[in-house]
């Protein structure tokens, strides 16, 4: 495009754009056009027009930038290039024109220019592509102007033909406009067309032509069914099986209570992969009971279900508990719009709060038709991508995000002050706690804080200098462990390196919050550990040693129940030792398929100053394997798994090799006549890994050949290649099928008949325990990170106390769920004795009003909510769109997951009775 002539100076361009912008922004109205321009080009232009301005100049223009370029003149930008904003269509996919990338952020990727500003730039610079967008009314009151950068992208499905197309349309356009566009796209006669909003499991006829798509709650990538055919009759091309002559789905005869037309349930997929509906299977809603199953005549509001959009029960259950929290129901049904914080960088510019408030109002509106929470799900997916799609998620994780997100969107503090915490310096806990809380409120003040936030007292004690640090931190909910006792059973397989006993598995009881040294001590007696021996713990994964657990302070809580632990009984040698690690491989079943990892590695100790030969390794390996040699091949008879510390019978030539030296180590080769000690032993098929990581077959080298190994690695690697013939000589079942640390099984009858008290869970949560190594505390007195002990106390309790029962434990390979029945109070949940702040003269009593339940396993389970309508004093079961009454006696079950308690107002004096 030809540039304007004569060319303006940078200063003239700047002033021209500033004047046009000020005039245009003051006159912006609904329906105006704005244009996207890439942030990269915009920044180049700003640098160009500002390069000669002083750094401290500011004439009030929004185009002003500090001079960060220097005195050198900048090159005038080339033509506008918006190509980095465009998402190129994939090969084979239809294009909608200039489609924007889905994740563009205003101010980072692009800025919006009023039409007159864009026209001026275009006249000066030309370029493109041109990206025009309309101004619409938005917000709760529909009076806030915003630019619709991303119009709705809708998936149109033509039935019965099965054709589909994608279109872009403003959410402020009417259903009539969508109807018209569908007819144009598919070249249809308007008299024969109806369009349907596909909700996943039900379908709504879109017949109000004046209603906007926004009012109809149509969302991005929504599936719209375009039905064509003579209404109320069957086209002649329809066969008895409901398919047209060309094999595509076709209309079927509608019944009296069905919607005419439809697709076969196994044909046609929506964008999210779900089958498109069979329309004639959808019945009219019952006018008296609806799909909720509860009569709508003459009863109170709040009994509206939520449709399951596809594994969204985790979201539905959490939302129902929140919207039935009286403080939230009252707040969001009133005018909360003024409290929305759009400037909070930690928030979601108020959109999450608006979406939640809108959904809450729908659920509390008169009527019982279930609500499809698509607008809320859309906002949730945008701000929390971890909850996008249609997979099952953790309801408590969603709840935590939602409470935090609503708080930030509704934070009354617009500018958070910086406040440095002061040391207690001998002041009373009450004074310090109030100071911490005041500092917290100075930065965080919202309805969420008012209702749900409490305060901990956290005490840390340095294990070295005994420095005590006390802080008072806020909390939104309590996550309580489900523990019956303070002990834990762990199973470990013990291997000997001296051939004195076959491998054996031992199950021992250890403290749940104990360390590896506790496990070693518990194993010492049953495995007959000698004074000059030690146990080397190791974790086994994939037939290899994943890690040695030599640090005695490693917490046992870091060892998951599905892991495999072994302990090697080895001499307690000086530090200048290495571990000779024997890994096993065996032939594949099909001949010629090579070797694959097998069994459990064995470990022995080697003094670093010793010279290691091929004969030495053969002798050591023979010694380690000797307890597994079958009797007919000269080995000991292993009728049962022995736990004796006496030496087992050895091969004659290997007997001397197992005699211990006075220092507890294996004898050196020089004490046993050098390499002659294995002359009578059959050479095993061993492979040695040398210092250069090269594999050497020991059978191919001389017995007295000195082997060089890596000095930097803690282990010397040796492999044994088990042939089918060699396996017949050894009983290797000891090396296979290691038991798990703790095998999960169905709950025992004892566990079911002895329910765990919620008070016991709380006491376990508040119990003093050491910090995990990766979360060590920096002691200000020692000036080092220390593994301090930590003690939590409740200090300030909220109006609504949310309690999460930690039913799920996660490991690298699987997720476990505890089906423990927790006996939680419904009335008079008394926390008085658990609050460290004794200045409060009132009893801390709570009453249950809602909870979420989880049934089944983590990946394929189902969530529901039990909620008490306080106006009716009656409990209901909210199971997605279905609602039914339940008895209070049925509220308690092993499925209870997240509990919601409200404070009970009482004037009763404090009770000194201890809770059991």
Reported as a pLDDT band with limits 50, 70 and 90, residue 311 is confident
| Whole-Å CA distances, 831 to 9, 437, 472, 904 | 74, 20, 18, 11
39-77 as b/e: b if 16+ CB within 10 A: bebbeebbbbbbbebeeeeeeeeebeeeeeeeeeebeeb
Cα 29 to Cα 1, 180, 799, 900, 904: the distances in Å are 30, 26, 44, 46, 51
> What ranges in 324-423 are assigned the alpha helix state H?
326-333, 351-364, 374-383, 395-409
Q: Establish how many alpha carbons lie within 13 A of residue 487's alpha carbon, considering only the half-sphere containing its beta carbon.
A: 8
pLDDT digits (tens, 9 = 90+) for 59-110: 333 444 333 334 456 788 889 998 888 876 544 445 566 788 866 767 778 8
pLDDT at 29 over 70: yes
Range scoring the smallest mean pLDDT among 313-322, 703-712, 861-870:
703-712
CA–CA separation, 877 vs 532, rounded Å?
64
- Per-residue pLDDT, averaged over 601-616, amounts to 85
Of the pLDDT bands very low, low, confident and very high (cuts 50, 70, 90), residue 754 is low
pLDDT beyond 60 at 299: no
Q: CB–CB of 520/567 below 8 Å?
A: yes
Q: Is-cis flag, bond preceding 849, omega within 30?
A: no
| Residue 744: per-residue pLDDT | 53
Which residues on neighbouring strands pair with residue 126, listed in sequence order?
A: none
Both tokens assigned to 443:
């930065």
Is residue 313 annotated as a catalytic residue, yes or no? Answer: yes
Over the chain, what is the mean pLDDT?
77
What is the pLDDT, as a whole number, of residue 852? 97
The answer, yes or no, to whether residue 753 has pLDDT greater than 50, is no
Structure tokens at 704: 């007295």
Residue 648 binned pLDDT confidence (cut-offs 50, 70, 90): very low
Give the whole-angstrom CA distance, residue 335 versus residue 131.
Answer: 37
Determine which of 117-121, 694-698, 773-777 has the lowest per-residue pLDDT on average: 773-777
Q: Which residues pair with 869 in a beta bridge?
A: 874
Predicted local distance difference test score (pLDDT) of residue 103:
65
Is 587:549 a contact under the CB 8 Å cutoff? Answer: no
Q: Is 696 buried (19+), middle (13-18) or exposed (0-12) by CB count in 10 A?
A: middle
Lowest mean pLDDT across 465-479, 530-544, 727-741: 727-741
pLDDT at 87: 76
List strands edge to edge, sheet with 769-770: 468-475, 454-461, 789-796, 769-770
Most confident of 515-519, 745-749, 751-755, 823-827: 823-827
- Residues 6+ away with beta carbon under 8 Å from 544: 583, 597, 601
d(CA 337, CA 330): 13
φ/ψ bin of 302: left (φ > 0), alpha (ψ from -120 to 50), beta (otherwise): left
Asked whether the predicted pLDDT for residue 586 surpasses 60, the reply is yes
Residue 9 has pLDDT above 80, yes or no: yes
Choosing from 51, 816, 862, 882, which is the catalytic residue?
862
Give the confidence band of 666 by pLDDT, cuts at 50, 70, 90.
very low
The answer, as to whether pTM is greater than 0.85, is: no
Q: Say yes or no to pLDDT of 879 above 90.
A: yes
Give, in order, the Cα–Cα distances in Å from 186 to each of 133, 156, 221, 234, 245.
26, 10, 19, 21, 20
DSSP state, 833?
G
pLDDT: is 848 or 913 the higher one? 848
User: Is 305:292 a contact under the CB 8 Å cutoff?
Assistant: yes
DSSP, res 54: -
Mean pLDDT over residues 514-530, rounded? 86
Cβ(500)–Cβ(645) below 8 Å: yes
Out of 183, 313, 462, 779, which one is annotated catalytic?
313
* Mean pLDDT (whole number) for 261-288: 33
Predicted local confidence at residue 588, as pLDDT: 76
Task: Write the CA distances from 384 to 104, 220, 388, 400, 548, integer angstroms.
Answer: 16, 16, 7, 12, 38
pLDDT score of 27: 79
Q: What is the mean pLDDT of residues 376-394?
A: 84
Per-residue pLDDT, 339: 92
Q: Name the band, by pLDDT with cuts 50, 70 and 90, for residue 815.
A: low
Q: What pLDDT is attached to residue 602?
A: 93
- Residue 584 annotated to the active site: no
- Between CA 577 and CA 620 the distance in angstroms is 15
């Amino acid at each position: 495009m030809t540039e304007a002539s004569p060319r303006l100076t940078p200063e003239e361009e700047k002033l021209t754009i500033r004047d046009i912008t000020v005039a245009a922004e003051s006159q912006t109205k609904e329906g105006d056009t704005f244009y996207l321009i890439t942030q990269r080009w915009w920044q180049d232009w700003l640098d160009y027009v500002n390069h000669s301005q002083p750094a401290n100049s500011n004439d009030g223009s929004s185009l002003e930038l500090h001079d960060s370029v220097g005195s050198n003149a900048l090159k005038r930008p080339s033509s506008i290039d918006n190509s980095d904003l465009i998402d190129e269509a994939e090969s084979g996919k239809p294009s909608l024109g200039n489609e924007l990338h889905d994740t563009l952020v205003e101010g980072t990727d692009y800025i919006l220019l009023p039409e007159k500003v864009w026209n001026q730039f275009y006249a000066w610079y030309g370029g493109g592509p041109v990206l025009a967008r309309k101004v619409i009314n938005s917000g709760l009151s529909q009076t806030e102007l915003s630019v619709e950068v991303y119009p709705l992208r809708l998936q149109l499905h033509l039935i019965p033909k099965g054709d589909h197309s994608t279109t872009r349309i403003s959410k402020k356009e009417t259903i009539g406009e969508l109807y018209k566009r569908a007819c144009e796209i598919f070249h249809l006669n308007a008299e024969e067309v109806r369009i349907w909003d596909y909700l996943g499991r039900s379908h709504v006829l879109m017949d109000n032509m004046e209603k906007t798509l926004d009012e109809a709650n149509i969302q991005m990538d929504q599936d719209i069914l375009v039905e064509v055919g003579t209404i109320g009759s069957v086209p002649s091309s329809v066969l008895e099986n409901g398919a047209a002559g060309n094999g595509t789905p076709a209309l079927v005869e509608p019944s009296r209570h069905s919607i005419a037309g439809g697709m076969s349930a196994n044909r046609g997929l929506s964008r999210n992969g779900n089958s498109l509906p069979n329309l004639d299977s959808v019945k009219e809603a019952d006018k008296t009971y609806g799909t909720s199953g509860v009569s709508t005549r003459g009863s109170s509001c709040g009994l509206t279900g939520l449709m399951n959009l596809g594994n969204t029960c985790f979201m539905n259950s959490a939302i129902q508990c929140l919207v039935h929290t009286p403080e939230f129901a009252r707040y969001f049904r009133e005018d909360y719009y003024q409290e929305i914080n759009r400037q909070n960088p930690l928030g979601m510019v108020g959109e999450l709060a608006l979406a939640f408030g809108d959904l809450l109002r729908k659920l509390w509106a008169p009527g019982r038709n279930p609500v499809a929470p698509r607008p809320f799900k859309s906002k949730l997916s945008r701000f929390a991508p971890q909850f996008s799609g249609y997979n099952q998620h953790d309801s408590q994780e969603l709840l935590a995000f939602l409470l935090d997100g609503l708080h930030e969107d509704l934070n009354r503090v617009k500018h958070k002050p910086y406040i440095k915490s002061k040391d207690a310096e001998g002041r009373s806990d009450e004074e310090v706690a109030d100071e911490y809380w005041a500092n917290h409120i100075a930065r965080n003040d919202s309805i969420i804080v008012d209702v749900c936030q409490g305060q901990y007292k956290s005490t840390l004690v340095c294990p070295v200098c005994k420095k005590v640090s006390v802080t008072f931190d806020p909390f939104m909910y309590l996550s309580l462990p489900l523990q019956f006792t303070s002990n834990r059973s762990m199973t470990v397989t013990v291997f000997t390196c001296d051939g004195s006993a076959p491998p054996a598995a031992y199950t021992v009881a250890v403290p749940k919050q104990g360390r590896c040294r506790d496990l070693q001590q518990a194993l010492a007696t049953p495995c007959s550990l000698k004074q000059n021996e030690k146990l080397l713990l190791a974790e086994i994964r994939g037939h290899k040693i994943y890690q040695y657990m030599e640090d005695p302070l490693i917490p046992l809580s870091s060892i998951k129940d599905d892991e495999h632990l072994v302990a090697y009984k080895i001499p307690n040698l000086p530090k200048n030792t290495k571990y000779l690690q024997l890994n096993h491989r065996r032939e594949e079943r099909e001949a010629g398929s090579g070797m694959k990892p097998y069994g459990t590695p064995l470990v022995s100790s080697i003094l670093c100053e010793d010279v290691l030969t091929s004969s030495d390794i053969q002798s050591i390996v023979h010694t380690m394997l000797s307890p597994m040699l079958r009797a007919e091949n000269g080995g000991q008879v292993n009728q049962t798994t022995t736990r004796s510390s006496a030496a087992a019978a050895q091969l004659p030539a290997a007997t001397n090799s197992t005699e211990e030296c006075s220092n507890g180590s294996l004898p050196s080769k020089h004490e046993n006549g050098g390499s002659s000690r294995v002359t009578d032993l059959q050479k095993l098929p061993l492979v040695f890994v040398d210092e250069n990581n090269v594999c050497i077959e020991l059978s191919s080298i001389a017995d007295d050949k000195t082997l060089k190994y890596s000095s930097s690695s803690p282990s010397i690697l040796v492999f044994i290649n088990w042939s089918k013939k060699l396996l017949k000589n050894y009983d290797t079942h000891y090396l296979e099928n290691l038991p798990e640390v703790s095998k999960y099984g169905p709950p025992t009858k004892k566990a079911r008949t002895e329910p765990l008290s919620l008070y016991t869970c709380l006491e376990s949560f508040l119990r003093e325990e050491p910090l995990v190594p990766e979360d060590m505390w920096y002691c200000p007195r020692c000036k080092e990170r220390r593994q301090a002990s930590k003690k939590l106390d409740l200090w300030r309790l909220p109006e609504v106390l949310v309690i999460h029962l930690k039913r799920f434990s996660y490991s690298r390979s699987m997720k476990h769920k505890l089906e423990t029945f927790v006996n939680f109070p419904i009335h008079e949940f008394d926390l008085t004795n658990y609050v460290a702040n004794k200045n409060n003269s009132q009893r801390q009593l709570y009453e249950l009003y809602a909870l979420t339940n989880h049934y089944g396993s983590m990946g394929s389970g189902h969530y529901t909510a039990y909620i008490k309508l306080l106006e009716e004093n009656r409990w209901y079961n909210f199971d997605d769109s279905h609602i039914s009454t339940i008895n209070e006696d049925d509220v308690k079950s092993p499925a209870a997951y997240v509990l919601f308690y409200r404070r009970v107002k009482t004037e009763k004096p404090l009770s000194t009775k201890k809770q059991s």
